[in-house]
């Protein structure tokens, strides 16, 4: 498995090996020991699977706050999506900065999103299936979000904000400057 790190401490892009022949393919997409070697020691407790029918669906930017913070190992098994994370760890040298990576069924990459990051994805094709492992159970009282279109974040979404397909909930999240402190870099 190839592991890519970034200038923002914590996230990892994983590229599992795919072994294929005329029958199809085989790929080891989760191996606890290999992830630990890559610095990912999360204890995953739940798998989630979402489907988005249309291009231009944006889900997020979401996060869960302590004591129910979640790390996420995300991947796309059908279609193509732009996956985006924002560092919301106060005191981090990269606070407010974002990363964006393309995930697809074709490129087979996975993205590790540690606790302390707001997470979203935007579908770049129709019929996108998005799977993710999480390190904490869903806790509605700790479920928060960040405005996907906050101009201070500078995220270059592949769809105009007025054309994005969002839930009502995702249209109402606060901007980063108005977000209460949920994470500290030193924690």
User: What is d(CA 89, CA 81) in angstroms, rounded to the nearest whole number?
Assistant: 25
d(CA 147, CA 28): 35
Query: Tokens 């299936």, residue?
Result: 129
Question: Which is the catalytic residue, given 62, 98, 119, 182?
Answer: 62
Q: What Cα–Cα distance (Å) separates residue 102 from each residue in 51, 65, 186?
A: 17, 26, 29
In the annotation, is 132 catalytic? Answer: yes
- What are the helix (H) ranges across the chain? 32-37
Instruction: State residue 82 phi and psi, 5-degree precision.
Output: -95, 120
Is the separation of the CB atoms in 89 and 146 below 8 Å? no
137 is catalytic: no
What distance in Å separates the CA atoms of residue 66 and residue 139, rounded to the nearest whole number?
A: 10
Catalytic residue among 7, 68, 119, 132: 132
Task: Count Cβ atoms within 10 A of the Cβ of residue 3 and give its class: 0-12 exposed, 13-18 middle, 19 or more buried.
Answer: middle
Are 27 and 17 spatial neighbours (Cβ–Cβ below 8 Å)?
A: yes
Residues with a known catalytic role: 62, 132
């Amino acid at each position: 498995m190839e592991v890519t790190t970034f200038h923002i401490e914590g996230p990892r892009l994983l590229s599992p090996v795919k072994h294929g022949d005329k029958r199809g393919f085989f790929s080891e997409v989760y191996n606890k020991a290999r992830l630990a070697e890559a610095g990912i020691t999360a204890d995953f407790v739940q798998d989630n699977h979402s489907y988005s029918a249309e291009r231009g669906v944006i889900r997020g930017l979401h996060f869960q706050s302590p004591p129910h913070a979640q790390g996420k190992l995300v991947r796309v098994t059908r279609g193509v999506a732009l996956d985006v994370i924002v560092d919301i760890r106060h005191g981090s040298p990269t606070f407010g900065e974002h990363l964006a990576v393309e995930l697809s069924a074709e490129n087979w990459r996975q993205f590790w999103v540690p606790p302390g990051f707001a997470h979203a994805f935007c579908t770049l094709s129709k019929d996108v299936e998005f799977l993710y492992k999480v390190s904490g159970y869903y806790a509605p009282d700790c479920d928060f979000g960040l405005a996907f279109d906050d101009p201070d974040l500078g995220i270059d979404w592949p769809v105009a904000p007025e054309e994005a397909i969002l839930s009502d909930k995702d249209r109402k999240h606060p901007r980063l400057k108005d977000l209460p402190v949920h994470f500290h870099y030193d924690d």
